[in-house]
Amino acid sequence: MNWTEFTQAAPELAQLFKERLDATGLALIGTIRKDGTPRISPLEADLFEDHLLLGMMWQSKKALDLLRDPRCLVHSVVSDKDGSEGEVKLGGRCVDVMDKGLRERSAQQTFDTTGWRPEEPYHLFWLEIDDAAYIKYSPNGDQTVKTWRAGSSQQSRLRKWTGSRLED
């Protein structure tokens, strides 16, 4: 589903991802290389109209990965060791944006907010979201975990740290 549908299906997770994205404008994306091994790359991401849009430089490695295998994982950036800000993951597939109108409107939006306009050719994908997870670590070792998968409702649980492992 697209971002708007995701915000309806799992509003709390969508809000948590949006907060993390708004803080930096940046995310990490995991893709699959030609040999089947994983790759991680930083990328700029924007929420625009109904989509989480991922813009990439023309012929960049991550874009070529996605054209070969659209499965990916978008991860919020984490900038401190204790994980107090929480981390959000969105799993799904990247869809190549072919709609010229959407490309043009999002380029205009980028120009309006940054003063810089991406010039064609460049890659633009929207994320088709299949699952999402949020994990936040407390100082005592407990984890707050929220998960969601398309077709189910969001699950929340506290995993308590026993000193050597977590218990649901």
Partner 1 sequence: MNWTEFNKAAPDLACRGRDLFERVGVLFVGTLRKDGSPRVSGCEFFFFEDDLYLGMMWQSHKALDLLRDPRCYIQSAVIDKNVTGGELKLRGRAVEVSDSDTSERYGRALKEATGWRPEGPFHLFAMDIDGAAFIEYQQNGDQLVIDWRSGRPSRERLRRWTGSGVVDDQK
Instruction: Give me the residues that bind partner 1 (CB under 8 A), please.
Output: 24-26, 28-32, 36-42, 44, 57-59, 71-73, 75, 77-81, 83, 87, 89, 91, 118-122, 163-166
Nearer to partner 1, 35 or 101 (CB): 35
Nearer to partner 1, 158 or 166 (CB): 166
Q: Within 10 Å of residue 157's Cβ, how many Cβ atoms?
A: 11
Contact present, 96 and 61 (Cβ < 8 Å): no
Distance, CA of 23 to CA of 10 (rounded, Å): 20
Q: To the nearest whole angstrom, how small is the minimum distance from the Cβ of residue 154 to partner 1?
A: 18
Q: CA end-to-end span of the chain, whole Å? A: 29
Q: To the nearest whole angstrom, how small is the minimum distance from the Cβ of residue 53 to partner 1?
A: 15
Strand partners, 43: 27
Nearer to partner 1, 5 or 141 (CB): 141
Contact present, 70 and 62 (Cβ < 8 Å): no
Q: To the nearest whole angstrom, how small is the minimum distance from the Cβ of residue 35 to partner 1?
A: 8
Nearer to partner 1, 8 or 162 (CB): 162
Nearer to partner 1, 118 or 125 (CB): 118
Outline where DSSP puts E strands in the chain. Answer: 26-32, 38-48, 51-56, 71-76, 87-96, 123-137, 143-149, 155-161, 166-167
Contact present, 84 and 147 (Cβ < 8 Å): no
Q: To the nearest whole angstrom, how small is the minimum distance from the Cβ of residue 75 to partner 1?
A: 4
Q: To the nearest whole angstrom, how small is the minimum distance from the Cβ of residue 40 to partner 1?
A: 4
Rg value, the chain, Cα: 17
